[in-house]
Amino acid sequence: MDVDKILAGMTLEEKAALCTGDTAWTTTPVERLGLPAAVVSDGPHGLRRTPENTGLGQRSLPATCFPTASLQASTWNTALVRSVGEAIAEEALAMDVNVVLGPGVNMKRSPLCGRNFEYYSEDPFLAGQLAAALIQGIQSRGVGTSLKHYAANNQEFQRFSIDTRVDERTLREIYLTAFEIAVRQGQPWTVMCSYNKINGTYGSEHDFLLNQVLRGEWGFEGVVVSDWGAVHNRVAALKGGLDLEMPGPKPLRVQAVVDAVQAGTLDVAVLDRAVRRLLEMVAKGQGAQRTQGFDIEAHHALAARVAAEGIVLLKNDGILPLCGVERVAVIGRSAEQPHYQGGGSSHINPTKVAVPLEELRARLGQASITYCEGYPADAAARPDLIGEAVAQAAAAEVALLYIALPSYIESEGYDRQSLDLTEQQVALIKAVSAVQPRTVVILNNGAPVAMGEWIDGVAAVVEAYMMGQAGGVAIAEVLTGAVNPSGKLAETFPEALEDTPAYLNWPGEAGAVRYGEGLFIGYRYYDKKGARVLFPFGYGLSYTSFAYSNARVSADTFMDVDGVQVSVDVTNTGCVAGQEVVQLYVHDCQADLVRPEKELKGFAKVALEPGETRTVTITLDARAFSYWHPDHGRWIAEPGDFTLLVAASSVDVRACLPVTMQVSQPLPSVLDMESTMREWLADPQGKALLAPVLEEMAAASRRLFGEGDGSEGLGLNIMDMFVDTPLVSVLEFRAGALPKPPEAFVADLLQQIRR
C-alpha cells in the first residue's frame, strides 16, 4: 500500500472522514483509492469481536477469555504475559481484527475503582513492564494494540467529565511512567485517550500530553484514538493531537473538520499529519497473514497456566496442598457458576469454561465431595443456605469456600462503595469456619477485599482474582499441589478503606478530583506512614521456601551513565519445585525533594528445583535513581548515596546494599530571586558565591553582639529563623553593609552563576 500516493489523491472530505470511524469498530475506507477499513476490537484480556462490526452491546464471537490484568500482573512474568499477547494476536488474525484495544495501564490509585481488574498495578514500573510485554507479544504477529486510557483515568465516577487535578511531578512519576515504559519499549500502534479532563483540559484535546509528552518526548509514532465517545470538539482534538475519533459514523464531525480547513481555522498540515498516521496504521494491518482459526485447546491451556501462576496464596496454616482428604465440603455458588471476568467493554464470550467444582472432583479421585450454594446471586440474606453449609462443613474433613464478589458491585462504569464482601458471604465464612477450622477461602474478585471480620478463623486464603475461562483448572491444581503457587500481589491489600491513600480525596466533588496524596499511592504511602496493611505489595506464599544469599553489586560507586548491576543467589530450601519473584527497590538516602521510602525498579522470576541455587541479576540504569524535578523541568539523577533493597515483598527485605552514584553532568543551577538561604547553601555554585557574604554577615554580628549573634536576646536561633527565607529578604537586614541594594546584589550573583 503506497501511503504517499493515497494521501496525495485524497480529497479534503475523504481526509476528514478518515479521521472519524465508519462504524463502531472500523475506520473509514476509501474504495476508489484502494484504502480498506481497519477493524478494531475490545480486548485487554481477550477479543470481544462483534459479528459484522455490529453495535457496542452485541454478543461477541467466541474467543479465549484470559485472566484479567490484575491476575496477569500477579504472575510478575513478562515472558508469560507476552505469550498471552501472541495468543490474542492469533485469534485476532483468525477474526480479521487489525488492532486490539488494550492493554490498560492506569494506576490503582484506590481499591474502589470499578475497573481495577483491567489494570495491572499500583506501581508504574511493574505496570509498564507488563504492558510492554503484552504489546510486544500482540504486535509480533502483525496485529496492533491500543495502550489505554491516557491519562490519569483512575475512577469510574463521572469518568466522562471529571477533572483530574494533579501536580506535574505526581503526574510524571506515578500516572505517566507506565505509559512511557510501554511506549518506549513496545511502540504500540495506537494510544487511546481517556474520557476525563486533566488539569482542566479533556484528554482528547490535550496538546501537552498528546503532542508534547507522548510524541515529542517519548517518540510515539502511531495513532492517537479516542475512547469511545471521548471527543467533545473535533477540531480542537485534531489540534491537540488526536487522530481518530471513535465510534462512527459522525457526519457532523466530519463536516466540522472540512469547514475548519476551508475557513482557515485548522491548518491542513495538521489534518494531513493525522491522515498519514492513520494510513500507516492501516498499511501495517494489511501486512499480516490472516488465518482460518486458532487452537482453542492450546489457548485454553495457556489461560490455565497464566491463572495458576498468578494465583496468590495469602494465608496457609499448613492445610494446603490438600493431601489424603476423603470428605470435602465445597461451598459457594462460584464453585459451580464461576466468576472469571469483569463486566463492560472487556466482557468476552469464552470458547469454553472450566467449572471449579468439576475440576476439583477430577483431581481428588475417590474423595467424597458435597456441594451447596452458600449464597445467592443477589445480595439477599439466606440463612437457610448458611445452615446447609454449616451442616456439610461440620461433617467434612475440610471446607472449601468459593467466594466471588458479584458483578453488580464491581464493573466498568461504576466504582465500588466499600471493600466488603456481601453480608451473606461474610456471615457464611464466619459460620462455616466456626464449625470447621480446616476452612479454605478461595476468592474471585477484581481488587482487594476486606477480610478483618473472618480471616483469623480460616486456615487458608487463596486469591484467584478474575481468573479467566480456565481458572477452574488453575484453582484445582493449586489446591491439590499439582501447581505450587508463585503469584505475588501487584497491589497492597489494606486493612480498612479508611487506611487507603486516596480516602480523603475520593471520588471528588463539584466536577473535580484532587490527587492530594501526590506521589504516595500504594506501598509508597504505607511505607511513608509506617502503616499496617493486611497484605503488602509483592507478597505471596509458596509450598516451598526460598533463601537469599550473597547479594552484591557490580560497583559500590558508579557513574549514572554506566548504571549498576545487582546480583543475588536464590536457593529453594524446601521439598518441592517452585518459583520466586526477586524484587529490587531503590531508596534515596538524601534528595533535594521528598521521595518515597523506596520504589520498585527491577524484578525477576526464577524457577528452582528443591535444593537448587541460581543467581539472579538485575540491571539498574540512571532512570532507576531519578525523579522529576519541577524546577529543572526534567528527570534528574542527583549524585549521592542510595540503598538497594533486595526483597521478597515490599516489607520482606532480604539484603540492603549501599551504593554511591556519581553524575557525568552537573545539574544547572535553578536559583532565582525567590530562592531561600537553604536553597542557596544546597547549590554548589550558590554556596561558593555566598560564602564571603555569610562571612561578612557573621563579622558584622560579632561587632554588634560580641561572640554571639543576637539569638539569646531574641530567644531563638537566628539561622534557623532565616534559613527558609529568600536570600534577598535576609540581606535586607544587612543592607547597609552591601555595596548595592539587595535585589541588585542577588541579581549579580545569579548572573555569575549563569555565565
* Residue 679 grid cell: 536553597
Q: Which residues are catalytic?
A: 227
Tally of CB atoms within 10 A around 651: 16
Are 402 and 331 within 8 A, CB to CB? yes
Candidates 54, 62, 49, 6; CA nearest to 29 is 6
Q: Are 281 and 189 in contact (CB under 8 A)?
A: yes
Q: Which runs of E-coded beta strand occur in 609-714?
A: 613-620, 627-629, 634-636, 640-647, 653-662
For 715-747, letters b (16+ CB in 10 Å) and e give eeebeeebeeebbbebbeeeeeebeeebeebbe
If one counts every other C-beta atom within 10 angstroms of the C-beta of residue 355, the result is 15
CA distances from 594 to 273, 501, 646, 656, 663 (A): 41, 17, 22, 21, 20
Half-sphere exposure of 212 (CA within 13 A, CB side): 5
Cα gap 390→429, rounded to integer Å: 10
Query: What is the Cα 183 distance to its own chain's centre?
Result: 14
| Euclidean distance between CA atoms 563 and 457, whole angstroms | 48
Print the SS3 string covering 131-177: HHHHHHHHHCCCCEEEEEEECCCCCCCCCCCCEEECCHHHHHHHHCH
**What length does the chain have?**
755
Q: For 541, which DSSP code?
A: B
Name the grid cell of 96.
Answer: 480479521
Run of H or E residues at 401:
strand 398-404
d(CA 353, CA 347): 14
Residue 97's nearest CA partner among 106, 108, 88, 105 is 88
> What's the farthest any 2 CA atoms get from each other in the chain?
98
CB 380 within 8 A of CB 364: no
Q: What is the DSSP string of 15-79?
A: HHHHTB-SSSSBPPPBGGGTBPPPBEEE-SSS-BPPGGG--TTSPPPPB--PPPHHHHHHH--HH
Do the bridges between strand 653-662 and strand 640-647 make them parallel or antiparallel, or are there none, so unpaired? antiparallel
Q: Are 63 and 351 in contact (CB under 8 A)?
A: yes
d(CA 622, CA 586): 12
